């Protein structure tokens, strides 16, 4: 059976997260329902990452095996027709080798976290970013973030529900960009890249960096909390609404030749 990989965009609102759960509205179930409309075998899908409830995606990657070889543009359009009532879209599709895995073939995952610094409630960006009223010291946040790059024990930023075998991960990069938004407001975009992440690692890191930005935690205290490998010293976990699975990288990239 031919195997296809697809890049998905979605808004996480109204879903319990990516993974199928009995009696719950999940993103995986929404996509599998659309695929079942074009393939009578109702194939299951494998995703590059299992995003939590409320988390969005700009570049989630999945794969599945279909009965026939589709022209990739027609496959994308057919699935988008059946997804029209969901906040999910297939951006690109590609025919891949039988041993390709959206999850295990990935060599890097990139997450984006958006923070809007403004006094007024969010309207157009409601549910798409974390609003913070207090100004943030971006330079201090960048200094603290730099301590995380490399191979470390990330137990401080690991959810107690995390099922990973080890808390040791290699964070390839973390970049904090500051942009001017409308009416003199600021948007912070925090990008993190690694081969894989622990459960809620990104949101835990962002929530703790926010404390540094507001002055509630010094850089020295941040370093001590990180090196303590003590989950209780993590800052407030940032809300899901500001988090995006931005990109998943493969080598070779199956979508370059699609």
Q: What is the pLDDT of residue 182?
A: 72
Alpha helices in 83-197 (DSSP H): 138-146
Q: What is the pLDDT of residue 71?
A: 97
The pTM for the full model equals: 0.96
Q: What is the pLDDT of residue 181?
A: 74
Please, what CATH class does the domain formed by 108-246 belong to?
alpha beta
What CATH number does domain 3-105 carry, 3.40.50.970, 3.40.50.10860, 3.30.70.580, 3.40.50.300? 3.30.70.580
Domain extents in the chain: 3-105, 108-246
DSSP for 41-92, written as a single string: T----EES--PBTT-EEEEEEEEEE-SS---HHHHHHHHHHHTTTTTEEEEE
Pairing of strands 243-249, 56-65: parallel
Distance CA 206, CA 223 (A): 14
Phi-psi region of 169 (alpha: psi -120 to 50; beta: other; left: phi over 0): beta
Distance CA 58, CA 38 (A): 24
Domains 3-105 and 108-246 fall in the same CATH topology = yes
Q: Smallest Cα–Cα separation from 114: which of 239, 247, 21?
A: 239
State yes or no: is 65 an active-site residue: no
Q: What is the pLDDT of residue 258?
A: 63
Tokens representing 100 are 């390709």
* Spans in the chain with pLDDT lower than 70: 258
From the candidates 52, 153, 172, 249, give the one annotated as an active-site residue.
52
Please count the other Cβ atoms lying within 10 Å of the Cβ belonging to residue 111: 26
């Amino acid at each position: 059976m031919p195997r296809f990989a697809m890049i998905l965009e979605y808004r996480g609102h109204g879903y319990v997260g990516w993974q199928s759960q009995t009696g719950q509205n999940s993103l995986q179930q929404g996509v599998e329902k659309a695929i079942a409309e074009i393939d009578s075998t109702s194939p299951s899908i494998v995703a590059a990452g299992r995003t939590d409830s409320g988390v969005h995606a700009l570049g989630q990657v999945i794969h599945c095996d279909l009965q026939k070889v589709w022209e990739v543009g027609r496959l994308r359009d057919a699935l988008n027709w059946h997804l029209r009532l969901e906040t999910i879209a297939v951006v690109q599709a590609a025919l891949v080798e039988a041993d390709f895995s959206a999850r295990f073939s990935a060599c890097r995952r990139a997450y984006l976290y958006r923070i809007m610094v403004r006094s007024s409630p969010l309207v157009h960006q409601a549910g798409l970013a974390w609003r913070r009223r207090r100004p943030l010291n971006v330079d201090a946040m960048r200094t603290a973030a730099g301590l995380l790059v490399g191979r470390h024990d990330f137990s401080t930023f690991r959810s107690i529900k995390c099922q990973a075998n080890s808390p040791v991960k290699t964070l390839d990069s973390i970049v904090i960009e500051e942009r001017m938004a409308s009416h003199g407001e600021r948007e912070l975009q925090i990008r993190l890249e690694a081969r894989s992440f622990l459960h809620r690692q990104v949101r835990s890191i962002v929530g703790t960096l926010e404390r540094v930005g507001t002055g509630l935690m010094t850089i020295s205290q941040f370093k001590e909390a990180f090196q303590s490998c003590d989950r209780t010293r993590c800052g407030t976990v940032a809300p899901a609404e500001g988090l995006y699975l931005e990109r998943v990288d493969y080598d070779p990239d199956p979508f370059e030749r699609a």
